Amino acid sequence: MASFVELAIPRLNTKVKVSTGLFINNEFVPSVGGADPITVYNPATEQVLCSVTGASEADVDKAVVAARNAFRTTWGKNVTGFERSRLINKLADLMERDAEILAQLECLNNGKPFKIARDFDIGDSVACLRYYAGWADKIVGQSIEIDRRTKTAVTHPDPIGVCGQIIPWNYPIMMWAWKVAPALAVGCTIVMKPSEITPLTALKLSELVVEAGFPPGVINTIPSLGSIGGAALAAHKDVDKVAFTGSTVTGRKIMEAAAKSNLKKVSLELGGKSPHIVFESADLDQAANWAALGILYNTGQDCTAGSRVYVQDTVYDKFIDILKGKAAQLAIGDGFDEKTGGGPVVSKGQYDRIWGYIEAGKKEGAKVILGGEKRSTPGWYVDPTIFTDISPNMKIVRFVNCIVQIFGPVLSVGRFSTEEEAIKLANDTTYGLGAGLHSNDQAQCHRVSSALEAGTVWINQYNLLYNNVPFGGKKQSGIGRELGSHALEEYISTKAVHWNYGEKLDWPL
Amino acid sequence: MTTFTHEFDTPVFKKKVSFPTGIFINNEFSAGVNNTTIDLVNPTTGQVVAQVSEGMPADVDRAVAAARKAFETTWGLNTPGFDRGRLLTRLADLMEENMDELAALDAFDNGKSFMMARHGDVPFSISVIRYFAGWADKNHGQTIETTEAKFAYTRHEPVGVCGQIIPWNFPLLMMVSKIGPALATGCTVVLKPSEVTPLTALRMAQLIVAAGFPPGVVNIVVGYGSTVGQAIAEHLGIDKVSFTGSTVVGRKILEASAKSNLKKVTLELGGKSPSIVFDDADLDQAVKWVALGIFGNAGQACVAGSRIFIQEGIYDKFLEAFTKHATSIKLGDPFRADSQQGPQVSQIQYDRVMGYINSGKEQGAKVHTGGSRHGNLGYWIQPTIFTDVRPDMKIVREEIFGPVGVVIKFKDEDDVVRQANDTLYGLAAAVFTKDIKRAVETANRVQAGTVWVNSMMSGNVQIPFGGYKQSGIGRENGEAALAEYTNVKAVHVNLGHTL
């Protein structure tokens, strides 16, 4: 009864097969609730790739039941850390084995360049799984002295239970790995809702989950619209925790649903409007490279995208020139083209949204020094765009800069004169995900990195993350941390056991 | 240069095995500088069956030079933790592909049963390497708040070149317990396996090359304790020595370190561990665990529960059941599937254990069962139980390292805790009771690095292990092992304090 599609990859003269059912209890099954199928697009051509089964609320219930059963019987406290480690490592090996196929699917569905998908997205994801596999048998509690004669106290790092995980479309495979790895390492079971825009790699990875040997129900995959599957998970009475990466707007809804249902634990990785500060002592060429990377990597579709660059006035003109040159060098095109450094944006919706902001900026008099013009050929393309001469009253600044993420390769550049001013400009946002500063003054680096209100601060660098360094947002950019040992905390529920073996209670008191 | 070649044709393992047994330095085998060899004796027959190249202090010098170079160029923190972890994982995978052969080599060399090696030693060893592979990229330092004027953090740096000296009782397991944490943290290694049981270490050398470790990261020098072991302990180019073996030799190592370069020292030494059986213990289970504790591995375990304390109320019943169990143990060739106890590892060990048995008899203890050689070929000794012992007897005070237990009657908790702690050693202890209060209290009061409640000899790589008192310094296994191979450097960055 398994349904699947075969997707052609013309440039590579090959086909990739993907199951298109819902993945529950290690099987691909049809929907029981009659939700509409999900149409999946190729953003480089605007053509339909295929459709996959969409999950209804009833399907979500089924998946949660499967995850709960697994947690009670074959997973959770019923499996050793050593065994969890073995399985997660096996999954990593399989991902590595199938890197080419996964990269092809990722490129086809998301648009990002094939080589980047294979070497970075998938390479980092494999390493992420291996990193957490290494933690699985090292999750310890404490034993705590009370007094020697009558009592002993210990803590148990229990797995929280059934976790709903909702991931976005900008790094489909990597976001999947970041979520499943720590949850599995600790012993939780998962109901994963990949983005309805990019469900294909999550479905393909589900096949590897079976091959690796995970018991049925440990991971379940239910592509669906956020308003159906996402909402159902967030409100579900039998889901113990929800982890979400996506927009701040949706993050609020998830938290509200958690509060109104069963007070499930919530971790959120939300948006950002991350500032890049270039001081006069910086190596300008390097700073321009990192700034270009910061806004153009993944075609700007990155929660930490450095979308605001502030340059010290003494080097402003010089820097703008260099930066413009760097940005212009990036070739945006079809992900399967060897020359491409950045792909299209992921969907029509994103395409329209980004162009809406660009048009608004132009209308309000911001100066476009690069890009800003639509292509006439097919594909949801946005070329690198740089705005300067922005003033605080402009919509693009007040509303766009500080409140709304554009989530595209659109950069606004402003100037400052003092360090205090730079810090104030950088922190003047409700977000707090990432920030970068470029300076050769060591003391300045310490002062500024300390003052920036962001969960990740890069000094003389940008964008690069590592599986063993924690990542997450301050302020309205999120709750909790991913990566590093910190991610494990999000999936652990500590139980304290007070074992009395010698104290007798006198009654009445 | 020597090679080990042997055609295994046994009921449990059939294979022709061949590999070099030279000195292993910089990923290559060669003869020792003296070009001499050491005979390997098969403990089931007493016959010489092979030769391995003998290392001398000059070979240790060569190995240290290789290890130092690797530490400064291709290893240490020059290879990121994640990559060190990958290589260790690869090594574990290769060990898994060669489980039978590794088990056969340990059984052949040491005399332990192939089945024990195949289902105990080897899988445990693989889990040790996998466990430490996972730690390689997780040895974090800290950032520490003091004042606004200071940015302080610690770096966890690998100690450097580590000399590791291991014994013959669990050859493969001892090797991986040492190289696992050392390699994970980024140290390089000069390993001296026991000259009595070097085969699995030398076979592992091939797996280390196949896994992709750079030359010089692991070096193996087989030789005698008095030459190679001493050279390692006093070497000015070695930053740390880790030793498992007798307390007597442990002292020499510590002394050599003090007299040379104050290298860091960790020691896993001997024990005279008490197994304590209370009246309310599950008798049947207690008998089995206590027997495992003293007769397992032919009593050749540092944690052997060699002083068996039985509470008065259960004494007769326990002794009867324990004796019955002891006499039912099947002594046999390691390569028979039903063998439960092998020979002692060497003539020297055999003589030593028999010496203690004789001293027990001479000092007036009663041989309740056993007390003699088993068979007339090889080094088998019968499972032996002494009763009617006094605390001053040699068999009660000193580590015998053979299948010889002394049984002592006790009254109550206070009495047995006092007796249990009346020893220079403090490696392990076991408590058998159904009363949780008594179990926890006794566990708290006994001076031992590992206390088993209702079990014995049960180890997991995640749980730290080591000795109190003269049973050792430092801990192996668990996260605790990393600290032994880590140098903590504190960095204080001044952010604004001017003079």
Q: What is the DSSP string of B47-90?
A: EEEEEEEPP-HHHHHHHHHHHHHHHHHTSGGGS-HHHHHHHHHH
Mind listing the domains of chain A with CATH numbers? 4-270 (3.40.605.10), 275-459 (3.40.309.10)
- Each residue of B9-18: b (16+ CB within 10 Å) or e? ebebbeeebe
**Residue A198 token pair:** 């990019």
Chain centre to alpha carbon of residue A507:
56
* Whether pLDDT at B498 is above 90: no
Looking at beta carbons, which residues of chain B come within 8 Å of A85? 130, 134
**Mean pLDDT value across chain B:** 97
Looking at beta carbons, which residues of chain A come within 8 Å of B444? 148
* Whether pLDDT at B462 is above 50: yes
Query: Across the interface, which of B85, B437, B495 has its CB nearest the CB of A134?
Result: B85
Amino acid A1: pLDDT:
44
My answer on whether B50 and B182 are in the same domain is yes
My answer on whether B238 and B305 are in the same domain is no
Looking at beta carbons, which residues of chain A come within 8 Å of B140? 485
Mutation for testing the A interface, residue in B453, B495, B498 having most A CBs under 10 Å: B495
Burial class (CB in 10 A: 0-12, 13-18, 19+), B310: buried
- Say yes or no: B127 contacts chain A, CB-CB below 8 A: yes
Nearest to B205 by CA among B464, B398, B26, B381: B26
Mean pLDDT (whole number) for B320-338: 97
In a domain, B314, yes or no: yes
Please identify among residues 67-86 of chain A the ones whose CB lies closer than 8 Å to any CB of chain B: 81-82, 85-86
Please identify among residues 267-286 of chain A the ones whose CB lies closer than 8 Å to any CB of chain B: none
In a domain, B495, yes or no: no
Inter-chain touch B495–A501, beta carbons under 8 Å: no
Burial class (CB in 10 A: 0-12, 13-18, 19+), B491: exposed
In a domain, B455, yes or no: yes
Mean pLDDT (whole number) for B19-43: 97
Inter-chain touch B444–A443, beta carbons under 8 Å: no
Q: What is the CA radius of gyration of chain A?
A: 24
- SS3 for B429? strand
- Say yes or no: A147 contacts chain B, CB-CB below 8 A: no
Looking at beta carbons, which residues of chain A come within 8 Å of B462? 81, 137-138, 140
Amino acid B256: pLDDT:
97
Q: What distances in angstroms separate CA B219 from CA A200, B39, B62, B102, B179, one per listed residue?
A: 48, 21, 9, 19, 11
- SS3 for A8? strand
CA torsion B358→B359→B360→B364, rounded to 10°? 110
My answer on whether B59 and B189 are in the same domain is yes
Q: What distances in angstroms separate CA B136 from CA A424, A455, B180, B436, one per listed residue?
A: 40, 25, 10, 38
SS3 content of chain A, % helix, strand, coil (to 5): 40, 20, 35
State which residue of chain A sits closest to B137, comparing Cα positions: A468
- Residue B356's domain comprises 274-460
State which residue of chain B sits closest to A502, comparing Cα positions: B437
Summarize pLDDT for A346-355 with one digit per residue, the tens. Answer: 999 999 999 9
- Say yes or no: B181 contacts chain A, CB-CB below 8 A: no
My answer on whether B100 and B233 are in the same domain is yes
- Each residue of A394-421: b (16+ CB within 10 Å) or e? bebbeebbeebbbbbbbbbbbbbeebee
My answer on whether B126 and B142 are in the same domain is yes
Pair type for strands B486-494 and B150-158 = antiparallel
B186 torsion bin: left (phi>0), alpha (psi -120 to 50), beta (else) = left
The residues of A carrying an active-site annotation are 269, 303
Inter-chain touch A85–B89, beta carbons under 8 Å: no
Hey, which residues does A8 pair with through a beta bridge?
A15
**Which helix (H) or strand (E) is A42 found in, with range?**
strand A38-42
- Say yes or no: B351 contacts chain A, CB-CB below 8 A: no
My answer on whether B314 and B430 are in the same domain is yes
Inter-chain touch B444–A499, beta carbons under 8 Å: no
State which residue of chain B sits closest to A485, comparing Cα positions: B138
- Report the alpha-carbon distance of residue A432 to residue A270 in Å, rounded: 10
| A332 within 8 A of A344, measured Cβ to Cβ | yes
Inter-chain touch B134–A138, beta carbons under 8 Å: yes
Query: What ipTM does the predicted assembly reach?
Result: 0.88
CATH code, B396 = 3.40.309.10
- Say yes or no: B401 contacts chain A, CB-CB below 8 A: no
Query: Across the interface, which of A82, A138, A446 has its CB nearest the CB of B127?
Result: A82
My answer on whether B34 and B141 are in the same domain is yes
Amino acid A150: pLDDT:
79
Q: How many domains does chain B have?
A: 2
Query: Across the interface, which of A82, A467, A501 has its CB nearest the CB of B437?
Result: A501
My answer on whether B251 and B282 are in the same domain is no
Summarize pLDDT for A372-394 with one digit per residue, the tens. Answer: 999 999 999 999 999 987 666 66
My answer on whether B133 and B236 are in the same domain is yes
Inter-chain touch A135–B479, beta carbons under 8 Å: no
Inter-chain touch B134–A468, beta carbons under 8 Å: no
> Does A199 sit behind a cis peptide bond, omega within 30 degrees of 0 on the bond before it?
no
Query: Across the interface, which of B134, B495, B496 has its CB nearest the CB of A135?
Result: B134
- Report the alpha-carbon distance of residue A213 to residue A205 in Å, rounded: 13
Looking at beta carbons, which residues of chain B come within 8 Å of A135? 134, 138
Q: What distances in angstroms separate CA A99 from CA A14, A109, A246, B297, one per listed residue?
A: 15, 15, 25, 47
My answer on whether B452 and B481 are in the same domain is no
- Say yes or no: B494 contacts chain A, CB-CB below 8 A: no
Please identify among residues 465-484 of chain B the ones whose CB lies closer than 8 Å to any CB of chain A: 479
- Say yes or no: B85 contacts chain A, CB-CB below 8 A: yes
Looking at beta carbons, which residues of chain B come within 8 Å of A468? 81-82, 137-138
- Can you list the residues of chain A whose pLDDT is less than 50? 1, 400-401
State which residue of chain B sits closest to A145, comparing Cα positions: B444
Query: Across the interface, which of A81, A134, A137 has its CB nearest the CB of B138?
Result: A134
Inter-chain touch B138–A81, beta carbons under 8 Å: no
CATH code, B163 = 3.40.605.10
- Report the alpha-carbon distance of residue B76 to residue B159 in Å, rounded: 9
Q: Which residue has the higher pLDDT, B496 or A158?
A: A158
Query: Across the interface, which of A82, A134, A467 has its CB nearest the CB of B133?
Result: A134
> Residue type at B292?
L
| A194 within 8 A of A223, measured Cβ to Cβ | yes
- Say yes or no: B441 contacts chain A, CB-CB below 8 A: yes
Inter-chain touch A131–B135, beta carbons under 8 Å: no
My answer on whether B305 and B218 are in the same domain is no
- Report the alpha-carbon distance of residue B216 to residue B11 in Å, rounded: 39
Amino acid A395: pLDDT:
61
Mutation for testing the A interface, residue in B156, B441, B494 having most A CBs under 10 Å: B441
| A480 within 8 A of A268, measured Cβ to Cβ | yes
- A154–chain B nearest CA distance, Å: 13
In a domain, B468, yes or no: no
Chain centre to alpha carbon of residue A130:
18
- Say yes or no: A133 contacts chain B, CB-CB below 8 A: yes
In a 13 Å sphere around the CA of B93, the CA atoms on its Cβ side amount to 13
My answer on whether B72 and B18 are in the same domain is yes
Nearest to B301 by CA among B349, B348, B365: B349
The DSSP symbol for A477 reads G
Inter-chain touch A446–B151, beta carbons under 8 Å: yes
**Residue B153 token pair:** 């953090």
Query: Across the interface, which of B81, B444, B495 has its CB nearest the CB of A443?
Result: B495
- Each residue of B407-424: b (16+ CB within 10 Å) or e? bbbbeebeebbebbbebe
Summarize pLDDT for B406-454 with one digit per residue, the tens. Answer: 999 999 999 999 999 999 999 999 999 999 989 989 999 999 999 999 9
In a domain, B308, yes or no: yes
State which residue of chain B sits closest to A124, comparing Cα positions: B82
Query: Across the interface, which of A137, A467, A485 has its CB nearest the CB of B131?
Result: A137
- A278–chain B nearest CA distance, Å: 21
Amino acid A391: pLDDT:
65
Summarize pLDDT for B267-323 with one digit per residue, the tens. Answer: 999 999 999 999 999 999 999 999 999 999 999 999 999 999 999 999 999 999 999
Residue A86: φ, ψ to 5° = -60, -45
- Say yes or no: B146 contacts chain A, CB-CB below 8 A: no
In a domain, B51, yes or no: yes
Inter-chain touch B436–A499, beta carbons under 8 Å: yes
In a domain, B172, yes or no: yes
